Structure 1
Amino acid sequence: MIRKIIKIDEEKCVGCGLCANACQEGAIAIVDGKAKLVREDYCDGLGNCLPVCPTGAIAFEEREAPAFDEEAANAQKAQECSVPQGCPGKVAKTLRRQPAPSADAEPGPSELMQWPVQIKLAPVNAPYFEGANLLIAADCTAYAYAGFHRKFMKNR
C-alpha cells in the first residue's frame, strides 16, 4: 500500500538517538551509529521523531510500505525489558571515600564522589549537589593530568 512513512537521511544523521527515543512504536533504532527505520510496519506515520531531530535528517515521504501494525508494535513494547530507574547513566550514585593515602603517593585513588562525572548526565536534583562546590573541567583533564584529583578535588 502507498502511505506516508518517514525517511531518514543517513548523511545528515549524527546518531544521537533522540528519534529512537521519541518513536513510541519502536520503528527506529540506532544501527552502526546511524538512525534506521528498522520496522516499516511499526511506523505509524505520525512523525513524533521529526521535531526532535537536531539535524533535520528525518522527513515524510509517500511510498509503498507495509500497513502500520499497531497490534505488533504494542506487543513488541510489552516485551521490552525496562530498567527500573531508567537509563543507568542517569541514576544518582554516591561513592564511598577510601582512607586518604600518604602525601607522596602518586597519582592516588580517585576523589570522585559521584558517577557519572559528565554534567549533562547528572540529575540536577541529585543529593550530592546540595551545598556542594562544583568543579567544571575540560573533557579529559581529570584523566590526563596526573595530580588532578589530589589538587582540585581532595577534601572539597
Structure 2
Amino acid sequence: MKRKIIHIDEDTCDGCGECIPECPEGAIQIIDGKARLVSDLFCDGLGACLGSCPNDAITIEEREAEPYDERLVMERIVEGGPSLIEAHLRHLKDHGATDYLQEAVSYLEENGINVPTITGGKAHACAGTCPGREARTLETTEGQERAASTTSRLGHWPVQLHLLSPLAPYFKEADVLLVADCVAYALAGFHDRFLAGKSIAIACPKLDSNKDAYIEKLRLMINEAKINTLTVIKMEVPCCSGIVRLAQEAASRASRKVPIKSITVSIRGEIIEEKWI
C-alpha cells in the first residue's frame, strides 16, 4: 500500500537530536552522528518531527510500503550497519513488539548477520524510547484481585491513541475500548465494569488533532491486529460524538468486519444508551 512516512536527508542532518523528543512513536534515534528512522513499523507519517529540525533535513514522502512487513523493514535496516540494527531491535523490544522482534532476529540469523545483544539496560535517553510512550504489560497480583473495587484494571501502556502502536501485542485479537478521555472521570466503577480484560485507546474528539492518523490506527487494529470487538464509550455532550464517527470511518476503510458497540455516559456518570452500530 502507499502511505506517508518521513525521509531524513543524511547530508543535511547534523545530528543535533532536536527531532527526537518530537517523534510520537520513538521511531527516530541518533545513530553514528545522524538522525535515523530506525523502524518504518512505528513511523505514523504525521510529521511531528518536521518543525523541530533547524536544517529542514526531515520531509514527508509518500511511497509504496508493504503493511508493516518486518522482513522488508530489515532489508533496509541492515544497510545502515550494526549500530542501526541494534537500535532497531532495541526499539522493537522497548515497544513490546515481540513477534516482530523474533522476525527480525530470524532474518538476521537466516542471512548470517550477527545478532546484537539487547538484553541489558536501556540506551541513553536521547537514543531510546520515552518512558511515557514505552509499551508495557501490567499484571495484577492475587491480592489485588481480591480487592478488585480499588484495583486498577489497566493492562498496558501507553493508552493515548496518538502515542500507542496499533500493532502492539496487547491489541492482537483483543476486545478493545475506544474511550473519550473524560469518561473515566465521570463513570464510577469504570475499571471493574468496562476495562477489566480489555485493551484501551483514549482520545478527545474535540481537542485532538490529526484525526486521519487516528482513523488509520483504528483501521490497522481491525485489519492487522485482528481485534475481536470495538466498544466506543463517549460522554453525552455533543462534541463527544466525533469519537463514534472515527470508529465508523475506520471500519468503513477496513477489509475486515468487526462488531462495534456505542455506549453513552451522562455527566452524572449514568449509562444512558448502549447499542451495536
TM (normalized to structure 2)? 0.26
Q: Which has the higher contact order (CA 8 A, sep 6+)?
A: 1
Which has the larger share of helix?
2
Q: Give the number of the structure whose alpha-carbon radius of gyration is greater.
A: 1
